[in-house]
Amino acid sequence: MSKTDGRFKRFWLNIATNATISGNQAIVTMPSGQKFVSTTLLPANAAIASEVYTNLDAGAYGVYGSLAGQNPMLFRLRVEAPGGPTSTRFLHVLQGADASAAIDSATMVASTNGTPFSGANVAGTVVMFPVSVDSVFNGTDYYVSVTATKHLITGLVPNAGYTVTRISDGTGESVSVSVGGPELADSGGVLVVPSPIRPRLSLSLGVNATLFVESAAGRPVSILSSTNLNDWVILGQATNAPDGRLRFVDGINSGRLPRFYRARVD
């Protein structure tokens, strides 16, 4: 942050070999073939460059002193916010990979409502950070791909309780975190959102088709049916049975129609 616009905002990272820049990704490849990858998610449209360390002089970059002896980091990665804004935020995802390993994609996630948060979705794990550490948390909502299974919300009150609601539309998932509830942040103020429990479905055929569901307590479960495994229709919600399970009776299907069923936690 600076008092006026037009002052550069830069992130520096010392690296061993010159990086290859592709879009918002910088890849450093070692002689062994192992890779170090830096993906810049913030600021948007950042200018990314890899340059020789010894070419960094104090007059051009404000970097003082010479390279220390025996230092293997001969290059630097430079990430600069475009336009010299008064303030900016930097968010990078750093990965190490063997020569034959694939590089995980990293995508930006930002809150859609409530206290502003932003973060990253990498390899099925979402990590969210408050935009301002001084903000009072009043709840936040965000939307991610259904490939994300684990969520970590940082910057919360240590050991405080929260309520997490997750609603899937088949492509993505809307996540809502509100103050107060059974999910506890740890001593560092990080809330680990548990993966939704997949319901287990069993079927009993008689005069009607009766379905029994074992799922997370307190979570509504919808029963869907299909005749071709492609087109699914919601039949209704399962309800409590005397044995503690959820039950749904399909009165339309008396056992004569070919029909497939699945259960979905809402």
Contacts 24+ apart (CB under 8 A), 200-203: 200/263, 201/261, 201/262, 201/263, 203/261
Q: Are residues 173 and 217 in the same domain?
A: no
Indicate whether 155 and 114 sit together in one domain: yes
Residue 1 lies in a domain: no
Judge whether 4 lies within some domain: no
Q: Which of 140, 161, 193 is the last residue of a domain?
A: 193
Q: Which residues pair with 214 in a beta bridge?
A: 200
- Which residue from 206, 219, 4, 25 is spatially nearest to 105, judged by alpha carbons? 25
Q: How far apart are CA 9 and CA 7, in angstroms?
A: 7
Q: Does 18 share its domain with 90?
A: yes
Per residue of the chain (266 residues), give pLDDT as tens.
778 888 889 999 999 999 999 999 999 999 999 999 999 999 999 999 998 876 445 555 455 556 666 778 889 999 999 998 999 999 999 999 999 999 999 999 999 999 999 999 998 899 999 999 889 999 999 999 888 888 999 999 999 999 998 887 778 889 999 999 888 999 999 999 866 556 677 777 766 778 777 765 556 788 888 888 888 888 888 877 655 578 788 876 555 567 788 887 76
Cα separation of 264 and 233, whole Å? 12
Rounded-to-5 percentages of helix, strand, coil across the chain: 5, 50, 50
Same-domain status, 139 and 154: yes
Q: Are 29 and 35 in contact (CB under 8 A)?
A: yes
Q: What is the DSSP string of 152-192?
A: EE-S--TT-EEEEEEEE-SSEEEEEEEESSSEEP-TTS-EE
Range of the domain at 27: 10-97
Task: Decide which of 149, 175, 193 is a domain's last residue.
Answer: 193
